[in-house]
Amino acid sequence: MDKHGVFRVFSKRITKENFKSILVQNIVPIMFVILCLVAVRWSGKPLAFLLQEVVFRMSRNSFLVLSLVIPVMAGLGLNFGLVIGAMAGQAGLIFVAARQIPGVLGLLTACLVALPLALGLGYMIGRIMNMARGREMIAGMILGFFMNGVYQLVFLFGIGTVIPFSNKSMILPSGIGLRNTVELGTIRWVLDELLMVRIGPVRVPLATLALSAVLEVLITWLYRTKLGQDIRAIGQDMRVSQVAGIQVDRTRIVAMMISTVLGAFGQIIFLQNIGTLNVYDSHGQIATFAIAAILVGGATVSRATVGQALLGTFLFHLLFIVSPYAGQNLLGSAQVGEYFRVFVAYAIIAVSLALHSMQRARAQAAQKH
């Protein structure tokens, strides 16, 4: 059924012979499982509580993490520019909050407003990525910072001056710029409560999870299309693909556009669960945490599957929940636990990037001999 291994976490089927090499290749998720077990043990929290938290966090985060898969397939590496998609999603949410559009209609409107923005921004990111070949990840990260400046310019100085805005309660007292917090009261929990199912002590927002499942199916389906094959081909080798007649630059742009649109939708799903939008901070750490999550699942710069995204989201957010409690119990300070989980996010990215770079160097050296 899973012919292309989209759901597979390990790259090979486990047999007795390759057990050790699989262990080495997947050292990141294995270490993380151990870390999670220790932290869960020391958090002293009941399992039902943890499960509930993990279910909510999975439901609101997995869409964002899944939106990273396609650029990796296309050889663009991890999309550190995902924040830009999130900004488009937030623009949609601000529109809905200003008009007070309620319910599912509001959610759909937000997506509809975000869609053209994300497509345009994704096109721009793709163009820039094509200019910064070999430096896509750092370019994406810097582009994210840059667009954050543009985003602040628009919402802090553009609203009320260039952009007309009718809802005065959302605007700063000076009449220019949005307030930091926007209450998403009309669409809060709309998606989550569409189909809330109780399994034992745990409430499961089935509709939200189903949406991620739909995306998983779509990514699997994409593998079979011409576009998907092109994306995978340029991910394998750009030069060969070029010779084979694939429009490399165009395909890379399309991959970034898809990822940016998914990032926008992912942010909308994320924030409908949170319920309040911090106009100037909500998007800040989105890319870092999504990337850390997918790497925890065993993904690398050049290989990411849906299965790794889901496993990674689960493990990363489990650690996120328990580490303040574990910090409190182990060291007498919840703050230490909070710093620790941020450290883990950054360190996992640094280590994964370093490991991948070393493996590549080794492979290149082996090829020469």
Partner 1 sequence: MSLDGDKQKEVDSGEPASRNGPGMMSRILNTVGLPRLTVGGFVVVLFVLGRIMGLPLTNLLTNSISRFGMNAVMVLAMVPGIQCGIGPNFGLPIGLLAGLIGMVSALELGFIGFEGLMLSMAIGAGLGALLGIGYGLFLNKVKGQEMMVGTYAGFAAVSLMCISWLMLPFKNPELIWVLGGKGLRMTISLKDTFGHALDKFWNFQIGGFVVPTGLLGVVFILAAAYKLFEMTKLGMAMDLAGQNERFARAAGVDCDRMRVVGTAISTALGAIGIIVYAQSYGFIQLYTAPLLMAFPAVASVLIGGATPSEASVSNAMVGALLFQSLLATTVPVAQTVVGGDISEIVRLIVSNGMVLYALTRGHGGEAANG
User: Which of 58, 137, 182, 286 is in the footprint of partner 1 by CB under 8 A?
Assistant: 137
User: Which of 26, 56, 75, 305 is in the footprint of partner 1 by CB under 8 A?
Assistant: 75
- Rounded Cα distance between 342 and 289, Å, is 9
- Rounded Cα distance between 261 and 70, Å, is 12
The conformational region for residue 270 under phi > 0 = left, psi -120 to 50 = alpha, else beta, is alpha
Using CB under 8 A as the binding rule, whether residue 242 contacts partner 1 is answered as: no
Mask for 308-337, x = binds partner 1 (CB under 8 A): -----------------------x-x-xx-
Owner of token pair 């990215």: 349
Query: What residues are paired with 163 via a beta bridge?
Result: 159
User: Which of 27, 195, 214, 361 is in the footprint of partner 1 by CB under 8 A?
Assistant: 361
Using CB under 8 A as the binding rule, whether residue 343 contacts partner 1 is answered as: yes
User: Which of 3, 13, 20, 134 is in the footprint of partner 1 by CB under 8 A?
Assistant: 134
Nearest distance in Å: CB 190, partner 1: 33
Using CB under 8 A as the binding rule, whether residue 360 contacts partner 1 is answered as: yes
Using CA atoms, how far residue 132 sits from 29, 79, 140, in Å, is: 31, 13, 9
Q: Which two tokens stand for residue 80?
A: 């550190």
Name which of 83 and 204 has its Cβ closer to partner 1: 83
Applying the rule CB under 8 A, the residues between 179 and 238 that interact with partner 1 are 234-235, 238
Q: How many Cβ atoms are within 10 Å of 214's Cβ, its own excluded? A: 11
Using CB under 8 A as the binding rule, whether residue 128 contacts partner 1 is answered as: yes
Name which of 36 and 344 has its Cβ closer to partner 1: 344
Applying the rule CB under 8 A, the residues between 248 and 307 that interact with partner 1 are 301-302
Name which of 1 and 365 has its Cβ closer to partner 1: 365
Name which of 169 and 174 has its Cβ closer to partner 1: 174
- Rounded Cα distance between 6 and 27, Å, is 20
Stated length of the chain: 369
**Between the CA atoms of 222, 113, 68 and 73, what dihedral angle is there, to the nearest 10 degrees?**
40
User: Which of 51, 98, 142, 202 is in the footprint of partner 1 by CB under 8 A?
Assistant: 142
Nearest distance in Å: CB 292, partner 1: 10
Helices (H), the chain: 19-25, 27-43, 47-66, 69-73, 82-99, 103-131, 136-152, 206-224, 226-236, 238-243, 248-274, 286-296, 306-331, 334-368
DSSP-based three-state secondary structure for 359: helix
- Which is nearest to 218 in space by CA: 8, 115, 71, 70? 70
- Which is nearest to 63 in space by CA: 219, 236, 242, 296? 219
Name which of 149 and 245 has its Cβ closer to partner 1: 149
Using CB under 8 A as the binding rule, whether residue 100 contacts partner 1 is answered as: no
User: Which of 50, 101, 202, 342 is in the footprint of partner 1 by CB under 8 A?
Assistant: 342
Cα angle 244, 247, 250 (rounded to 5 degrees) comes to: 160
- Rounded Cα distance between 64 and 85, Å, is 10
User: Which of 166, 174, 200, 226 is in the footprint of partner 1 by CB under 8 A?
Assistant: 174
Q: Sign (positive/negative) of CA torsion 332, 337, 338, 343?
A: positive
Using CB under 8 A as the binding rule, whether residue 38 contacts partner 1 is answered as: no
Name which of 276 and 302 has its Cβ closer to partner 1: 302
Contacting range for partner 1; rule: CB under 8 A; set: 99-107, 199-207, 214-222, 338-346: 338-346
Using CB under 8 A as the binding rule, whether residue 35 contacts partner 1 is answered as: no
CB 95, CB 167: distance < 8 Å: no
Using CB under 8 A as the binding rule, whether residue 340 contacts partner 1 is answered as: yes
Using CB under 8 A as the binding rule, whether residue 135 contacts partner 1 is answered as: yes
Name which of 43 and 251 has its Cβ closer to partner 1: 251
Binding residues vs partner 1 (CB under 8 A): 72, 75-78, 128, 131-139, 141-143, 145-146, 148-150, 152-153, 156-157, 174, 176-177, 234-235, 238, 301-302, 331, 333, 335-336, 339-340, 342-343, 346-347, 349-350, 353-354, 356-358, 360-361, 364
